[in-house]
Amino acid sequence: MPAVIFDCDGVLADTERFGHLPAFNQTFQEFGLPVRWSEEEYGEKVRIGGGKERMRSLLTPDFVEEAGLPTGAEALGEVVARWHRRKTEIYVGIIASGAIPPRPGIHRIIEEAAAAGWILAVASTSAEESVRSVLERAAGADLAQRFGVYAGDVVQHKKPAPDIYELAVAGLHADRDRTIVIEDSSNGLLAARAAGLTCAVTVSGYTRDEDFTDAALVVSSLGDPGTDTEVIADPFGLAPRPFVRLADLDALLSTAGSPA
């Protein structure tokens, strides 16, 4: 059976700008930290895979001193872990509120793929609790149970390393040549391709201008009836109109093939 593996943030929902960013900033405020990320600053932070890793990027000697943090590596690691646990709680609350809807076409494609018997999974560098909250919102509780979930610190190296996709393919017992990844970032594309997988990209607000040279398809979103999907790059001439269907993803698996 074919498999489709979704990234989470920016693919299932536009969670970076409206979920993660406010959750980070509320966490910083609650812990009395001298930082608030603007949308522009966070646009740079999203290039760092993983929430704890983004937090660790703050830990310059000057910041550690200003914030009154411990200087030992182990103690700092415990501090960051506390920050990240609280940030995850805040983020899950935002998702549970229903404030961030699924991106266009996501629920439709999931339903189509499930009905056709496709293998379903999500692979993300975000915390598993965060990923599951978004997945349940995007897919619905019943369909979410059909998914394999690969998230958080389950691999040593995060995207753009291929580890998370290698783990997902192995865990799903999926055929690499019949597996397509849906990503929104160049880091995700690099990870998928390094794992030998075909990758389609649905750009998000923070990633539209990134390099997607090796993608099999780049669109504004998967789209839904009543909306038009903008085709940004279509190297195999798929021409999905007016939106991307499951049959289009299947066709990409046949025409794009697996990378060398």
Catalytic residues: 7, 9
DSSP string, 171-201: HHT--GGGEEEEESSHHHHHHHHHTT-EEEE
Alpha helices per DSSP H over 97-240: 106-115, 128-139, 141-144, 163-172, 186-194
Nearest CA to 116 out of 3, 235, 251, 257 is that of: 3
Please give the order of strands across the beta sheet that includes 231-233: 147-151, 119-124, 3-6, 179-183, 198-202, 217-219, 231-233
* CA distance linking residue 251 with residue 169, whole number of Å: 20
Written as six digits, the tokens of 218 are 């780049």
Antiparallel, parallel or unpaired: β 147-151 and 217-219: unpaired
Look up residue 31 and give its two tokens: 């812990």
What is the C-alpha to C-alpha distance for residues 203 and 199, in angstroms, rounded to an integer?
A: 12
Residue 59 token pair: 């830990």
User: Is the bond into 259 cis (omega within 30 degrees of 0)?
Assistant: no
Q: Which stretch of DSSP H or E encloses residue 232?
A: strand 231-233
